[in-house]
């Protein structure tokens, strides 16, 4: 369990059983590790809690590097359907990842990278690539020590790269899932190697409250905690998640079965304002107990943005917001609200600064398309409309009908990715007179391909490559002088993130401009349109990018601020 001392990995593998090779210069104890696990069921808010804890520790002046582990064998989240896994979040470096990475970025007001995201597929590809290069020569590759060793090395390298005070690890899924059992084992080994005062375990468990009984039941939580301990992990802190506050007797039962002192058992019940959670954790004293467990001290916080004062002010703005506006999100995944999580968060960030709170009206585009509801009935009572990103032809004509309605009725509109492309299709058909205008994603044979695939993307599709082959990550846009977009951003050139293959066809730029569309942002290197707007409309702005990915609570997206302001009127 020491640096390689000039020997190759193959040589060290033959000498030792540990397979834990610390990066050169690595010092155990310099970085502390906090491992967040879940039990009973998924979806209880591990990501929200982890983000809140990251905010709390950062406000104490600590450098936090979070990691999300997902046990599935996909290399990344790029090919996952939103119905299966919610929103696919995109980092600035182009990594397609779990939506919890978005929670981390919003919590820390800092960009994450590929090093903050780990999947089972990524681990196994890493190991198999090394095996093919002969780096395990002479050894049969096993879960212990090789898989667990590579996981620990991944975390240590992150700690060193980021000079982190704390590496905060969220383990996806629940205790007992086969696909994360080897990761839990790696975390057990991490504590063994790093020392008890350098690794803390926090377990989130759900306390059920069956409606038929009218009381809380902790047995499921007890079983989940026992499963965790059977894997060799003793939690230091237990978070009891519940819909309503639990009585002290429940916390006592959890304390006994989890072998955790009662003052390390906390109850976090459902909050209407999740941005309060870092402050609630502070008021409960969880931060102080963590500092004791890890022999860690807070530092002077020199961050002018992310600090307790600014966070408290933001929470107060939410509480004092007295205007309510209704925003329709017209999409095709509306049955799974996490599919549009970053959009909802961006609205939550922008509205309090304008004294408003947002009510979301979910409109299924397919229902408009199939005639189950008229576009007039779907949008008659809203203050603004967002058409988000997406893929494929289902619901496309429903989205186009919604865009036509808001354009003709001067209702504020924000189009994101596909929402920009379809706004162009609608305008081309109904204003420019190009009745057959379409995107070749939906109609490859259209004689008016106003939205078309760029050559390099076409080559990738013909090779049947799907994962990681889109225009991904941050791209610059030069903003047009005197445009709405430039006024909102206040800059000549901005960066926003992308996830798409099709683009506005440059052959149609001229006719669109002649009929009144302003091409207000251009990726000049490829002459690709990034922003469009209608200047005589209350607010009609659309972007090829996903502006929702860069919004933060203390620095909301300029596009969303402008949109919400227009919706307030």
Would you give the DSSP letter of residue 379?
H
β 528-533/384-387 pair status? unpaired
For the chain, report the end-to-end CA distance as a whole number of angstroms.
64
Would you give the DSSP letter of residue 218?
-
In 259-279, which positions are buried (b, 16+ CB within 10 angstroms) versus exposed (e)?
A: ebeeebbbbbeeeeebbbbbb
**Cα dihedral value 406, 409, 411, 413, nearest 10:** 30
Q: Is 385 helix (H, G, I), strand (E, B) or coil?
A: strand
Does 417 qualify as catalytic in the annotation?
A: yes
Of these residues, 417, 426, 530, 567, which one is catalytic?
417
Hey, what are 130's tokens? 């090394």
Report the alpha-carbon distance of residue 167 to residue 155 in Å, rounded.
Answer: 8
Host H or E run for residue 519: strand 518-523
Would you give the DSSP letter of residue 147?
I
Q: Where are the alpha helices (DSSP H) in 203-285?
A: 219-230, 248-258, 277-284
DSSP string covering 25-75, please? T--BTTBEEEEEEEES-S-SSHHHHHHHHHHHHHHTT--EEEEEEE-SSSS
Of these residues, 85, 349, 438, 546, which one is catalytic?
546
Instruction: List, in sequence order, every residue forming a beta bridge with 277; answer none if it has no partner.
Output: none
Report the alpha-carbon distance of residue 442 to residue 525 in Å, rounded.
Answer: 27
Of these residues, 150, 348, 496, 548, which one is catalytic?
548
User: 60 vs 71, 166, 264, 367, 392, CA distance in Å?
Assistant: 31, 12, 20, 49, 46
Closest to 544 in 3D by CA, of 327, 387, 411: 387
Active site residues: 417, 546, 548
């Amino acid at each position: 369990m020491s640096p390689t001392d000039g020997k190759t990995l193959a040589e060290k593998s033959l000498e030792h059983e540990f397979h834990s090779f610390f990066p050169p210069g690595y010092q155990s104890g310099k970085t502390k590790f906090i491992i967040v696990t879940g039990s009973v069921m998924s979806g209880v808010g591990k990501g929200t809690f982890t983000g809140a804890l990251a905010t709390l520790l950062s406000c104490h002046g600590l450098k936090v590097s979070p990691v999300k582990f997902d046990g599935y064998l996909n290399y990344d989240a790029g090919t996952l359907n939103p119905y299966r896994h919610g929103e696919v979040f995109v980092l600035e470096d182009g990594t397609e990842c779990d939506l919890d990475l978005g929670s981390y970025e919003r919590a820390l007001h800092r960009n994450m990278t590929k090093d903050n995201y780990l999947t089972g597929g990524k681990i196994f590809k890493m190991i198999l690539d090394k095996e093919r290069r002969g780096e395990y020569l002479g050894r049969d590759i096993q879960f212990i020590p090789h898989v667990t060793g590579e996981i620990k090395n991944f975390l240590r390298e992150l700690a060193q790269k980021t000079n982190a005070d704390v590496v905060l690890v969220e383990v996806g899924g629940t205790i007992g899932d086969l696909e994360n059992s080897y990761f839990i084992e790696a975390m057990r080994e991490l504590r063994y190697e790093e020392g008890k005062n350098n690794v803390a375990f926090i377990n989130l468990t759900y306390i059920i409250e069956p409606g038929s009984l009218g009381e809380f039941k902790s047995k499921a939580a007890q079983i989940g905690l026992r499963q965790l301990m059977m894997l060799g992990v003793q939690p230091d802190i237990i978070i009891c998640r519940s819909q309503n506050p639990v009585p002290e007797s429940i916390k006592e039962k959890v304390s006994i079965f989890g072998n955790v002192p009662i003052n390390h058992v906390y109850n976090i019940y459902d909050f209407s304002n999740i941005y309060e959670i870092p402050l609630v954790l502070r008021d409960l004293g969880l931060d102080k107990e963590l500092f004791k467990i890890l022999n860690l001290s807070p530092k002077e916080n020199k961050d002018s943005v992310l600090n307790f004062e600014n966070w408290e002010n933001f929470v107060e703005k939410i509480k004092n917001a007295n205007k309510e506006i209704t925003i329709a999100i017209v999409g095709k995944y509306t049955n799974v609200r996490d599919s549009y999580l970053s959009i909802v968060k961006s609205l939550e960030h922008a509205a309090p600064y304008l004294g408003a709170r947002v009510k979301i009206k979910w409109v299924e585009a397919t229902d408009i398309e199939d005639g189950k509801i008229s576009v007039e009935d779907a949008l008659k009572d809203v203050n603004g409309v967002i058409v988000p990103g997406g893929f494929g032809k289902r619901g496309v004509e429903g989205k186009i009908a919604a865009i036509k309605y808001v354009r003709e009725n001067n209702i504020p509109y924000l189009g994101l990715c596909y929402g920009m492309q379809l706004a162009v299709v609608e305008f081309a058909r109904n204003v420019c007179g190009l009745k057959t205008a379409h995107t070749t994603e939906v109609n490859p044979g259209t004689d008016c391909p106003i939205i078309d695939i760029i050559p390099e993307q076409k080559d990738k599709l013909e090779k049947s490559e799907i994962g990681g082959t889109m225009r991904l990550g941050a791209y610059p846009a030069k903003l047009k002088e005197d445009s709405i977009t430039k006024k909102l951003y206040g800059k000549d050139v901005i960066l926003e993130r992308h996830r798409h293959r099709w683009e506005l066809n440059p052959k149609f730029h001229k006719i669109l401009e002649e009929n009144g569309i302003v091409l207000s942002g251009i990726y000049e290197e490829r002459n690709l349109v990034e922003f469009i707007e209608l200047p005589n409309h209350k607010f009609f702005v659309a972007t090829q990018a996903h502006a929702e990915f860069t919004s933060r609570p203390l620095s909301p997206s300029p596009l969303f601020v402008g949109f919400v302001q227009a919706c307030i009127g």
